[in-house]
């Protein structure tokens, strides 16, 4: 399975190949949701380092400083969670949100290999 969206001066186009592994013949398309796993962690950390080096952020900045005021960020042991806490996975946040279940987008065990 593979799906990509290309955006350029001609607009947006979707390129997809393969079928879903859900017992149907449904093909992958631009609306197919993929589990991206941990791939984004590396890219996010690199972007954060770049922004810190350019003076746009500091690792000890509270996360709340960079979010809308309407977002309530939990505290950890009475301390505000910082960007460093997030990037080093020491913020104490749960692995998955409470509303991500097998009936709302997450398989029962997404890491179990199908044979």
Span 46-97, pLDDT tens digits = 999 999 999 999 999 999 999 999 999 988 888 999 999 999 888 888 776 7
Binning pLDDT at 50, 70 and 90, where does residue 36 land?
confident
Whether 38 sits among the annotated catalytic residues: the reply is yes
For the chain, give the percent of residues with pLDDT over 90.
30
Binning pLDDT at 50, 70 and 90, where does residue 115 land?
very low
Catalytic position from the list 12, 38, 70, 102: 38
The two tokens of residue 72 are 């309530």
The larger pLDDT score, comparing residue 52 to residue 14, is at 52
Q: For residue 77, give every residue at least 6 positions away whose Cβ sits within 8 Å of its Cβ, in sequence order, or none.
A: 92
């Amino acid at each position: 399975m593979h799906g990509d969206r290309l955006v350029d001066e001609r607009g947006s186009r979707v390129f997809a190949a393969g079928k879903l592994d859900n017992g149907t013949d449904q093909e992958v398309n631009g609306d197919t949701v993929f589990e991206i796993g941990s791939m984004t962690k590396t890219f996010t950390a690199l972007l954060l380092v770049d922004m810190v080096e350019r003076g746009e952020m500091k690792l000890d900045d509270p996360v709340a400083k960079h979010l809308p005021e309407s977002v309530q960020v939990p505290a950890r042991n009475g301390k505000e969670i910082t960007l460093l806490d997030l990037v080093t996975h020491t913020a104490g946040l749960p692995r998955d949100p409470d509303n991500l279940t097998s009936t709302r987008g997450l398989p029962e065990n997404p890491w179990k290999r199908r044979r």
